[in-house]
């Protein structure tokens, strides 16, 4: 079944990260029953999903969601579409993103001891990257002459160029000269028979977890918080929504619109009537 999923995802151009998430959750399901998921009946699926929701140390909501989506993919490639109607509906998350202030971002970038870690955080924020996009960045993707970073299509199926700030460029040049990474911009400490491997998403998560307390912020800071902050700060500085959509690599403008609810500038600038009352 896994090979069928790999073939389907490859043909349809779906991201490797999505395939990894689906496969991981389906593997847990298969181990639970010791049988491949396509052979499970509705009652067994319902029992497992109930188990996921009610267990004291239950998996995360994303684990539950990826299990359902993974089952839908399995039913589709197995031509068992009638079973999809029995799966629970996954409601779209409409919560607004957490956004850091400029001061908090600066503190986070300055927090790590090692230059490599500081630049990993700075590149995430400065280019508005997803974690796996940072992992996949190669040295050849960074153009210091044109001041651009090439982000190869993965999620969203869109290649894109994002600006490379002068400040980030100076830091990367120093890092490349001293650390001498090869192939990937940020190499892992392990290799595959001498061949370079990129850093992992888990490594990025570790760097941020180790340093977020140093910002003095009580916000839940993750790698994606930096991407949300990148988008919000650009909108607040006057960038138009269409340009932001292209920088973020969104397929649909509706995905980008959520940042209008977060930014505090222009006609969207929010204020309290207390200011009107006491500023007179």
Q: What pLDDT is stored for residue 211 in this prediction?
A: 97
Q: What pLDDT is stored for residue 219 in this prediction?
A: 93
By C-alpha distance, which of 180, 146, 160, 1 is closest to 73? Answer: 1
Q: What pLDDT is stored for residue 270 in this prediction?
A: 72
Q: What pLDDT is stored for residue 144 in this prediction?
A: 97
Query: 102-267, superfamily in CATH?
Result: Intergrase catalytic core (1.10.443.10)
Catalytic residues: 130, 155, 224, 227, 250, 259
Q: What pLDDT is stored for residue 246 in this prediction?
A: 93
What is the distance in angstroms between the CA of the first residue and the CA of the last residue of the chain? Answer: 70
Write out the DSSP string of 159-193.
-EEEE--HHHHHHHHHHHHHH---SBSSEEEEEET
**Reported pTM:** 0.75
Across-strand partners of 149? 142, 162
Q: What pLDDT is stored for residue 59 in this prediction?
A: 67
Q: Where are the domains of the chain?
A: 2-86, 102-267
By C-alpha distance, which of 106, 123, 225, 229 is closest to 184? Answer: 123
Low-confidence ranges of the chain (pLDDT < 50): none
The arrangement of strands across the sheet holding 148-151 comes to: 142-143, 148-151, 160-163
Q: What pLDDT is stored for residue 52 in this prediction?
A: 85
Write out pLDDT tens, residues 25-73. 999 999 999 999 989 999 999 999 998 888 756 667 888 899 999 999 9
């Amino acid at each position: 079944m896994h090979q069928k999923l790999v073939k389907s995802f490859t043909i349809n151009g779906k991201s490797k990260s999505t395939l990894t998430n689906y496969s991981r959750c389906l593997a847990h399901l298969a181990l639970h029953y010791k049988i491949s998921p396509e052979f499970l009946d509705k009652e067994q699926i319902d029992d497992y999903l109930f188990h996921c929701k009610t267990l004291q140390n239950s998996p995360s909501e994303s684990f539950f969601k990826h299990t359902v989506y993974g089952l839908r993919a399995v039913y589709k490639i197995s031509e068992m579409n009638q079973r999809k109607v029995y799966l629970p509906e996954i409601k779209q998350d409409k919560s607004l993103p957490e956004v850091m202030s400029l001061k908090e971002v600066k503190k986070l970038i300055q927090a790590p001891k090692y230059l490599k870690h500081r630049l990993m955080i700075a590149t995430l924020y400065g280019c508005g990257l997803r974690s796996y996009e940072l992992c996949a960045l190669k040295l050849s993707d960074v153009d210091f002459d044109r001041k651009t970073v090439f982000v190869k299509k993965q999620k969203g199926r869109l290649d894109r160029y994002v600006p490379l700030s002068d400040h980030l460029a100076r830091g990367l040049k120093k890092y490349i000269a001293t650390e001498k990474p090869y192939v990937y911009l940020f190499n892992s400490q392990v290799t595959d028979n001498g061949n370079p491997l990129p850093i992992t998403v888990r490594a990025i998560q570790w760097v941020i977890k180790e340093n977020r307390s140093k910002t003095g912020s009580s916000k839940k800071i993750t790698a994606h918080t930096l991407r949300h902050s990148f988008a919000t700060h650009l909108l607040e500085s006057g960038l138009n929504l269409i340009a932001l959509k292209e920088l973020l690599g969104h397929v649909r403008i509706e995905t980008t619109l959520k940042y209008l609810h977060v930014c505090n500038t222009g006609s969207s600038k929010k204020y309290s009537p207390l200011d009107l009352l006491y500023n007179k």
